[in-house]
Structures are given as C-alpha cells and as structure tokens.
Amino acid sequence: MIVVATDFENGKFKAAFNEDTVLDLTACIERYEDRLMSELLGVELFALYTLGVIAVDPIYTKIQLQFIEQDTWSNLLVSNGVKDMLQGFIWCEYQREIYSQTTTFGSVKNKGENSDNVSFPASMYQIKYLESLTTYDAIQQYILENEAIYPTFKGLRKYPILPI
C-alpha cells in the first residue's frame, strides 16, 4: 500500500481520527488505491511501477515524487507526487461515504448537538479533488511526453466532477 490510514491523521487531507475512522479509512484505501493507480498508469505499467519503486528505478521514482516540468507546448506540469494524489482522491471518496449514512429510515446526515454540518461544497471537497486531478494529469502528461520510456502506458483520463 502506498497510503495508510494514519496519513489522514494530520495535514491537508486530515480526517476525524478515532478507532472507527481508522477502519473505515483502511477499507476505503483498500477499495480505491489499486483502482486509482491502474486508472492513472494502466494495469501493466502499474505492475511495473510497483516493482520499479521497490528497486528504486529512476523512471518510476520520477513519477512517484513531486516534480515541476514543462511539456513540448510550454505548459507547466506540476505534480505533488503519487502519494499526495492518492490521499486526495481517497479523502474525497471517504468524505462522500461519510457525508450521509443509509439507515432503515433512509439516508440521514449526522448533526452534532452544538454544531452544524458545513454544506458539501464548503467542505473543500472540490478544491482537494481538483488539486489531486492536477497531479494526476501532470503525471500522465509527463509519461506521454516520455512515451519511449513508458511504452506500456494505458492510463485513463479523469475529468473534473461536480460536488454532489
């Protein structure tokens, strides 16, 4: 695993942290991490990436870590790194899952006694999603710019989403 539940204990992708959330976050990571990486790189390149990172192969550590590059058309490619990207997408999925819960009475939204939930758009969901998407796009564009090094790339394009 690239991301673990404790990565959400602090920082920009902080989640409320207790025993229950650790289990929920771990389940969310298990559900989405491999899928997101397969979408980013394609199944075959993801398998090579996994082996390459373990072997510290520079072509895989390049896309694993933060970078700023310029493509052929002088566009800036800014990547916060694979782990940051995964944390962002997984945090978004986790937030969508906990925003409401299904009960025998239908979908309900939690409300504390002395607090009000912020609206979903105000939760920074879309900003964090778009930040992760920027890294996702930067990694894919870097790979396309260097297709001779990454001939097995078959990643899928991701699009911005509207908050629900």
- Report the mean per-residue pLDDT for the chain: 87
The total domain count for the chain is 1
The structure tokens 């912020």 sit at 118
Q: Which of 15-19, 95-99, 108-112, 124-128 is predicted least confidently?
A: 108-112
Bridge-based pairing of strands 76-79 and 67-70 is antiparallel
The Cα-based distances of 145 to 66, 97, 150 in angstroms read 17, 36, 9
For residue 31, being part of any structural domain is answered with: yes
The tens digit of pLDDT for each residue in 82-105 reads 999 999 999 999 988 886 555 555
Q: Is residue 80 included in any domain, yes or no?
A: yes
- 161 within some domain: no
43 domain-assigned: yes
In a domain? residue 62: yes
The more confidently predicted of residues 45 and 126 is: 45
Going by the DSSP 8-state scheme, the letter that residue 117 receives in this structure is P
Q: Which domain holds residue 27?
A: 11-99+118-145
> What number is the average pLDDT over the span 131-142?
97
Assess if residue 3 is contained within a domain: no
Residue 133 lies in a domain: yes
